[in-house]
Chain A
Amino acid sequence: MFSGKAINTGQQISLSDYRGKVVFVDFWASWCPPCLASLPAYDQMREEIGTEEFEIIAINVDENTEDGVEFLAEHPVRYPVLADPDGIIGIPYGIRTLPHSFLLDRDGQIISSHRSFKLGDEIKLKLEIEQLLKKDQMNH
């Protein structure tokens, strides 16, 4: 569980607020080349899936959070982005390389993890999320 103030929207959020939704947690940094492609791709994917039962929470791990803020000014996303310069969130998740993301079911359990990113990965990811949403709908 983690919580914090989003550096792009200013809203206070907690992972527990999203219990009941499928959540995609994405760790990234401004210096990570694949993140330049993954952030807009995930933003587009979020718009296509909708936010009624799904949300993306991004975790920026830049040592200097201002670098992440500047990156977001140039490459804005509509989902909340938390800052984690000291690894308070990232270390428990075992982050070693970026980008690294996790898909959580409605109960907050990690269903899958995804390392690195190349264009086209978001299509397979979207399929996985939609299947999880359908599965969870049947179970709830």
Chain B
Amino acid sequence: MSRSLLIGLLFVWLLLSPQNSAMAATCSCAGVPLLTSIDTSATEKGQFFVTYTTEFHQISDLVSGTRDVTDETDRDRSSFSQVLSASYALTDRWAVSALVSYVEHSRTIGSSFLGETISSGIGDSVILARYTPMFITPFSRHELSFGLGVRIPTGEDNFGDGFVFSEDMQPSSGSVGKIFWSSYSYAFNQAATVQFNASTNFTTNEENDRHYAFGDELNFALGISHSIGTRFGYSAALRYRTTKADKRSGALIPNTGGEWLDFVPAVQYAINDQFNIALSGRIPVARKLDGVLQFTTSYSYALSLSYGF
């Protein structure tokens, strides 16, 4: 895929949810980037949204610290996830969101198909409760929202052909995670067609049955969105992510954890009052990864279709 086409696709995808992020970018990423796909649209009492997202991650960049390294192993690593998410506004201030995921990991080392490993299955699920004390209206330019949630290891260990896949190839993280989420938006005009958004989320990860604990993760994103008319919108965001090193039985796992800065563009089109389609992507800007060598995300893109009423 050419770089220009890739950038185009990424730009088309990003509008979906610049305020959310919990992308697992290293090769220590059993879980899918669930918070990027969770629907947080329902904000007025009685509103209900269902979103289906399909997301692809190419995880083939080899990085040493901040430096890209040429991979001599002809390795190809990717993740493909499908996420079904729903959100419902219980009141004008309280809403709940939930999602379930299905994940497929693929890894090929060398040019022979014999070197290909594929794992797939149900991934993690997330439930998030949100409280919005301030929201954008014709009389207010500010919106503030907080959320508390939990990531539930609904997936199973994938034993493949009689062996347990490594943690980065597991469809599910296998562990409970606590999620703290917040988002702030400012509307530059009364119609709120141009908005600034800042969001952050923090996820703590417990140890799973395999005694493995993914590193705690912090995401912070700043973005601008612009809607044109009632149908079309686009956005661009910078997303910072940092994770601690993973642990097994309390011992640090080398070559895990680090910092990432990504550019996240997106476009969205409202097919009608109920259906929205969105395309977004993620392009690495900078990264500083712990350890000697890590495989990390080269790019990702997602397509989503949402239905609301």
- Interface residues of chain A, those whose CB is within 8 Å of chain B, are 27, 29, 31-34, 61-63, 86-87, 90-91, 94-98, 115-116, 118
Report chain A residues within 8 Å CB of B138.
27, 29, 61, 87, 90, 95-96, 98
Report chain B residues within 8 Å CB of A115.
44
Is A94 touching B229 in the complex (CB atoms < 8 A)? no
Is B190 touching A95 in the complex (CB atoms < 8 A)? no
Which of B135, B190, B191 is the one whose CB lies under 8 Å from A96? Answer: B135
Is B92 touching A96 in the complex (CB atoms < 8 A)? yes
Is A96 touching B230 in the complex (CB atoms < 8 A)? no
Minimum distance in angstroms from A62 CB to a CB of chain B: 7
B163 within 8 A of A: no
Is A32 touching B191 in the complex (CB atoms < 8 A)? yes
Minimum distance in angstroms from A80 CB to a CB of chain B: 20
Closest to B192 in A: A97
Complex Cα distance A115/B309, Å?
11
Complex Cα distance A90/B230, Å?
22
Complex Cα distance A90/B116, Å?
61
Main DSSP-derived SS at the A contact region? loop
**Per-residue interface assignment for chain B, residues 130 to 150, with 1 indicating a CB less than 8 Å from any chain A CB and 0 otherwise:** 000001111110000000000
Complex Cα distance A119/B245, Å?
56
Report chain B residues within 8 Å CB of A86.
139
- Interface residues of chain B, those whose CB is within 8 Å of chain A, are 44, 92, 135-140, 189-191, 229-230, 273
Report chain A residues within 8 Å CB of B136.
96
Is B191 touching A116 in the complex (CB atoms < 8 A)? no
User: Can you report 11 residue pairs joining A to B where beta carbons are below 8 Å apart?
Assistant: A27-B138, A29-B191, A31-B189, A61-B138, A90-B137, A94-B92, A96-B92, A96-B135, A97-B44, A97-B137, A115-B44
Report chain A residues within 8 Å CB of B92.
94, 96
Is A63 touching B190 in the complex (CB atoms < 8 A)? yes
Closest to A32 in B: B191
Known pairs A29-B190, A118-B273; A61 contacts B229 (CB<8 A) = no
Closest to B193 in A: A31
Report chain A residues within 8 Å CB of B189.
31
Is B191 touching A95 in the complex (CB atoms < 8 A)? no
- Count chain A CB atoms within 10 A of each CB in B135, B139, B229, B230 and give the residue with the most: B139
Report chain A residues within 8 Å CB of B229.
33
Report chain B residues within 8 Å CB of A98.
138
Known pairs A33-B229, A63-B190; A90 contacts B139 (CB<8 A) = yes
Known pairs A63-B190, A118-B273; A34 contacts B139 (CB<8 A) = no
Is A91 touching B273 in the complex (CB atoms < 8 A)? no
Is B273 touching A116 in the complex (CB atoms < 8 A)? yes
Minimum distance in angstroms from A100 CB to a CB of chain B: 9
Complex Cα distance A116/B44, Å?
13
Report chain B residues within 8 Å CB of A97.
44, 137
- In addition to A90-B139, A91-B139, A97-B44, 4 A-B residue pairs with Cβ atoms within 8 Å of each other are A27-B138, A61-B139, A87-B140, A94-B92
Closest to A87 in B: B139
Minimum distance in angstroms from B187 CB to a CB of chain A: 12
